[in-house]
Chain A
């Protein structure tokens, strides 16, 4: 009985803590974005619509429609799967508080959008080319 209780306590405790993912995804931003690093909380706020600024400047998130970088970013920094994440954005849309962020196909498209749109911030695989954008370190 005691072992069962300990096991139950372990399961409940484990469900309350966020699991750290391996950093195979990097966060990129338009060179005009003032920030050079971003905290996990601030990053989550930007990509969930809770905030529209970093280091005092307006930022505009761009999403990948799908792919390993998208999945890892959601798991590591948002804590939701894709369906729950987009449902959260739809709540803001249906409340009149935001529009759904732009979604593009693939890392190359994310880089292209971020490089050419002021304030844009996105995420790509670590190994993907990212000319024309700056990398933000996540602290």
Chain B
């Protein structure tokens, strides 16, 4: 599937010179942004960084090249360098797509395309576009951004004019999702000695509706994503800790599998002049099995929601706050079952290119963001996280 789409993209890009007379006709544009962040936590180390000592290990750079050879055809590609603690430190392909918009009612996009689920999935990677240093992690975990952002396949989209009832944006998508072996989802597995050498991939499809209501600035929406069964080879590596065989490494091959998942998502947003309010809720439930490695299947029933608001105090300065919660109803009781996060945030725009963000989080629960290796003394149920970030975009 991936090779077919990359080949189709190459054909689309190759067709550009045949339709254009000059580079200016192609309307080729290059954009990008870079950010440098700093994390400090009062207790636990977070996101595989040494944040309890203060950590600058959060760097991101994005380069975006796009062309519009005709008013209806747009092609583009975006590459990203990402470093967060032990995650990333590599250049990856965010998306590469050809987009043909027949009219406002119908357009199609194919390639490695952003998955238009939820409120922020399509824009979670665009740090310059929003105020927050960290989006609510229960729904938009930064350590899984590469896996959640896009899929190989296509999107159909359009806007229907409902006259007095407003407008309805619709999106439908289908294709294949890849979750790499070093994704944030697998941190707890890796600490148990279980790795997925090739990551995991599987088919997905879904749809989303955004109703722009007659009340100016208010949008209500919902999306539904369905994931087919995902399976992949897994390896369990166990090092004997004591006894006559101390230090002996035992490797057990097995397989990792997740059954069908259906993820409903409900969201709303109100934007008017200087104020913004938004809220979102989603649910993911399923069954995980590790055949050959673990005897019992592992059910999960994840619920996550957030509510946020922000106010543009001046042309250059905005402030806001959000509350978010995430919990696994299927997990045993205790701090590892949930994460509650209160965040207060501010953003200052020096000009249209340069900005700074500051954010303070008050986190209860240890379900998100922590790993045992960098917290050898155990996890404290409560942590305060301070985030500072500078960014430049063009």
Interface on A for B, CB 8 Å cutoff? 15-18, 50-53, 58, 60, 79, 81-84, 86-88, 90-91, 93-100, 102, 119
- Assess the B273–A90 pair: CB atoms within 8 A: no
Q: Can you name the residue of chain B whose Cβ is closest to the Cβ of A100?
A: B29
Rounded to whole angstroms, the CA-CA distance of A51 and B103 in the bound complex is 9
Most chain A beta-carbon neighbours within 10 Å: one of B97, B114, B273: B273
User: What is the minimal beta-carbon distance from B215 to any residue of chain A, in angstroms?
Assistant: 11
CA distance in complex: A130, B129 (Å)? 35
Determine whether the beta carbon of A93 is less than 8 Å from that of B273.
no
Interface string of B147-162 (1 = CB under 8 A from A): 0000000000001000
CA distance A91 to B33 in the complex (A): 11
Would you call A95 and B352 a contact (CB within 8 A)? no
Report how far A58 CA is from B68 CA in the complex, Å: 14
CA distance A90 to B67 in the complex (A): 14
Q: How far is the CB of A91 from chain B (nearest CB, A)?
A: 4
Nearest B residue to A120 via CB reads B71
Chain B binding surface SS class: strand
Residue among A15, A16, A18, A93 with most chain B CB within 10 A: A93
Question: B23 near A: Cβ within 8 Å?
Answer: no
Within 8 A of A (CB), among B18-36: 27, 29, 31, 33
- A81-B315, A99-B74, A102-B27 are known contacts. Are A91 and B126 too (CB-CB below 8 A)? yes
Question: Which of A93, A95, A96, A98 has the most CB atoms of chain B within a 10 A radius of its CB?
Answer: A96
Known pairs A83-B349, A94-B62, A94-B64; A52 contacts B71 (CB<8 A): yes
Question: Are A94 and B129 in contact, with the CB atoms below 8 A?
Answer: yes
Across the interface, do A96 and B76 meet the contact criterion of CB distance under 8 Å?
yes
| Chain B residues close to A by CB (< 8 Å) | 27, 29, 31, 33, 62, 64, 66-68, 71-72, 74, 76, 78, 95, 97, 99, 101, 103-104, 109, 113-114, 122-123, 125-126, 128-129, 159, 272-275, 315, 349, 351-352, 393
State in angstroms the CA–CA spacing of A95 and B103 once bound together.
Answer: 19
Kindly provide the distance from the CB of B147 to the nearest chain A CB, expressed in whole angstroms: 18
A87 and B352 contact, Cβ closer than 8 Å, known pairs A53-B104, A96-B66, A98-B74: yes
- When distances are taken between beta carbons in the complex, the residues of chain B under 8 Å from A86 are 352
**Closest Cβ neighbor of B111 among chain A residues:** A96
- The chain A residue with its CB closest to the CB of B31 is A93
Pick from B72, B275, B349: contact of A58, CB under 8 Å: B72
Q: Which residue of B lies closest to A117 (CB)?
A: B71
B164 to chain A minimum Cβ distance, whole angstroms, is 12
Q: What residues of B have a CB within 8 angstroms of the CB of A99 in the complex?
A: 27, 29, 66-68, 74, 76
Q: A94-B129, A96-B78, A99-B29 are in contact. Are A16 and B352 (CB under 8 A)?
A: no
- Are B351 and A83 in contact (CB-based, < 8 A)? yes
9 contacts between A and B (CB under 8 A): A16-B272, A52-B101, A81-B315, A83-B351, A87-B393, A90-B393, A94-B126, A99-B29, A102-B27
Q: Smallest CB-CB separation from A86: which chain B residue?
A: B352
Task: Find chain B residues with CB under 8 A from A52 CB.
Answer: 71-72, 101, 103-104
In the bound assembly, the distance between CA atoms of A94 and B74 in angstroms comes to 13
Closest to B349 in A: A83
Given A52-B101, A86-B352, A100-B31, are A15 and B274 also a contact pair (CB < 8 Å)?
yes
Q: How far is the CB of A65 from chain B (nearest CB, A)?
A: 11
B27 CB, min distance to chain A CBs, angstroms: 6
B114 & A95 in contact (Cβ 8 Å cutoff): yes
Please name all residues of chain B whose beta carbon is closer than 8 Å to the beta carbon of A16 when the two chains form the complex. 272-273, 275
Residues of A within 8 A of B126 (CB): 90-91, 94-95
- Distance between Cα atoms of A111 and B349 in the complex (Å): 32
The answer to whether B71 and A87 touch across the interface, beta carbons within 8 angstroms, is: no
Residue in chain A with minimal CB distance to B272: A16
Is A15 in contact with B27, judged by CB distance below 8 angstroms?
no
CA distance A87 to B275 in the complex (A): 17
* Residues of chain B within 8 A of A58, CB atoms compared: 71-72, 103
Please report the C-alpha to C-alpha distance between residue A3 and residue B129 in the assembled complex, in whole angstroms. 39
The answer to whether A94 and B113 touch across the interface, beta carbons within 8 angstroms, is no
